[in-house]
Amino acid sequence: MDKRDLIISAALKLFVNNGFHGTATSKIAQEAGVANGTLFQYFKTKDELIIALYIHFKDELVEYVSRNTAENADIKETIKTQVLSSLFWAIDNPTKFRFIQQFHTSPYIGQVEQDILNKQVEPHLALIQKAIKQGIIKPMPADLVYLLITNQVFCFYLFVTSKKLSKAKQHETIETTFEMLWDMIT
């Protein structure tokens, strides 16, 4: 693992466990086994590091969802695949997902360039808009539908991970809750 990856790994662990303000850059450097100056060679400020981590992990999630989404599936199947892929990525990457959740509820979200946020969200909004135009999803603002879906992913994740469920029961619960979500928006 190179020094940048060590810094990212250490920062992720410390930010999730101690919060953004409760994590000093000196602690990150110490946890990563690098000099404090080395951290600043890669990230000029702690704020820059926090934002870079968010973009990195969010892009990783978006890429995972994209890889698992078939191009020719119908709209319901596509949205279902995206929701389920998001959940399974979150279950497999709990610390990264907790970081994304933490970031979304922090003031840092306002510091991410709008172009970056748009790039991450645009494919989903386009699909939702298409579904609204085709009468599949109820006529409401596409960004509201997107928020409903993404917030439900967070809720599904919290529920499934707070219970001691077998993998089969996790999958069954996720399938059932997706159908409930689908009924709500259609």
Segment 13-23, tens digit of pLDDT: 999 999 999 99
Outline which parts of the chain fall under CATH 1.10.10.60.
Answer: 1-44
pLDDT at 165: 85
> What tokens appear for 43 in the block?
């990230």
Task: Provide DSSP, 68-112.
Answer: HS-TT--HHHHHHHHHHHHHHHHHH-HHHHHHHHHHHTSGGGGGS
Global pTM reads 0.89
pLDDT at 161 over 90: no
Outline which parts of the chain fall under CATH 1.10.357.10.
Answer: 46-185
Helices assigned H by DSSP within 93-166: 94-104, 114-133, 142-162
With beta carbons less than 8 A apart as the criterion, state whether 96 and 105 touch.
Answer: no
CATH 3.30.1330.10 matches 1-44: no
pLDDT at 117: 86
CATH number of 46-185: 1.10.357.10
The rounded distance, in Å, linking the Cα atoms of 106 and 136 is 34
Quick one: angle between helices 94-104 and 46-68, nearest 10?
A: 120
The rounded distance, in Å, linking the Cα atoms of 182 and 37 is 50
